[in-house]
Amino acid sequence: MLTGRQQKKISGLLESLLGSTSISLLDVGAAGGAHERWAVYRKHIDFFAVEPDLRSADSIARKGAFKSETIITRGLWSEEREIILNLCREPKVSSVFTPNLTFLGIFPHSDAYDVLDRRLISVTTIDKAASELGTHFDSIKLDIQGAELEVLNGAESILKTSLAIEVEVEFSEAYQGQPLFNDVFKHLKFRGFEFIDFLSMHRWSPEQFGVGQSVFADALFMRSPEKVAYDSKINHGVVIKYVAICSVYERGDLILRLANALKSDNESSDLYGKILEIGQLIHARNKRTQTRLTRLSHLLMVGHISVRGHFFH
């Protein structure tokens, strides 16, 4: 996390870089609206929200929150067709995949996955939606209860220009027959994305959530900074967008790698100087935070020698 003063300085540097540049954000499974991490650069973001479960549609709209907002109530898949959506007791866990109640029943509140109704919905692909809207997507977030890989299969063209993908991944079958983390990892690696980190990890046990078995996580995949630096020779704007997205996810390490890759041709430029400063500010802050978290983890081990605290920041 960044302090208010540090964030203000970074935001000022990025504002001077972004100018009138827009970042297109596709949020698939957008119940509850976009994550607050995007709020600081909202006036530069064209927000596209996909949520076919109409029970959750009202939670998306926050008029004026972004430069532009488009809500899509048609579902996404690997091809255009009609599919059945299982409407669960808790709308956020509704899925085209059937809940695996044998596994889910081990843990508390499995009744959230009870299927109350089934609805036939029309689905399209990310590539088709982008074409119809006349846009591309710089950053994509997928949280669609096991259907993430199917949707990625329908995004072959868009993935060629996308810079970041935040995707919910599972380590166990919460839904019958769903793809797992390794399937998503291989798919995105083959298409030139690097696995960067888990943004959050969700652990379940029979007693409570938050401890126990790792069941699912939010994973961040991004283009390598070196690839972005190479592409900048053709499209200068991609560097600025990449820096902004890295800042949203507090990836000072990636920004520093980008600065190193740009250094030979741009060391004296204003762009290089600002990119380097942004990377240094974020990286230094994260380094201090990690040091504190490591110390806290060691304190926890004093009372329980075999345990380690798991932190995501």
Closest CA to 208 of 107, 280, 75: 107
Q: Give the Cα separation of 76 and 253 in Å (integer).
A: 33
The residue with tokens 């060691």 is: 298
Predicted confidence at residue 295, as pLDDT, reads 80
Integer Cα distance of 310 and 177 in angstroms: 29
| Count of Cβ atoms closer than 10 Å to residue 177 Cβ | 9
Q: From first to last of its 313 residues, what are the pLDDT tens digits of the chain?
A: 556 778 889 999 999 999 999 999 999 988 888 899 999 899 999 999 998 877 766 666 555 589 999 989 899 999 999 999 999 999 989 999 999 999 999 999 999 999 999 999 999 999 999 999 999 999 999 999 999 999 999 999 999 999 999 999 999 999 999 999 999 999 999 999 999 999 999 999 998 776 789 999 999 999 999 999 988 776 778 999 999 999 999 999 999 999 999 987 776 688 899 999 999 999 988 888 888 877 877 776 666 666 555 544 3
3-state secondary structure of 71: strand
**Beta-strand (E) ranges in 2-114?**
23-28, 45-50, 68-72, 75-76, 81-88
Residue keyed to tokens 């009372």: 303
Look at the block and give the residue holding tokens 């696995």: 195
Can you read off the two tokens belonging to residue 198?
């888990």
Name residue 214's beta-bridge partners. 203
Contact 229, 261 (CB under 8 A): yes
- Cut 0.95: pTM above it: no
**What residue ranges do the domains of the chain occupy?**
4-76+128-302
Do the Cβ atoms of 162 and 138 come closer than 8 Å?
A: yes
- The residues facing 105 across adjacent strands are none
**Two tokens, residue 40:** 């600081």
Q: Are 151 and 142 within 8 A, CB to CB?
A: yes
Distance CA 197, CA 260 (A): 21
Please tell me the number of Cα atoms within 13 Å of 222 on its side-chain side. Answer: 27
Look at phi and psi of residue 29 and say left if phi exceeds 0, alpha if psi is from -120 to 50, else beta: left
Q: Which CATH number fits domain 4-76+128-302: 3.90.870.10, 3.40.50.150, 3.20.20.60, 3.40.1350.10?
A: 3.40.50.150
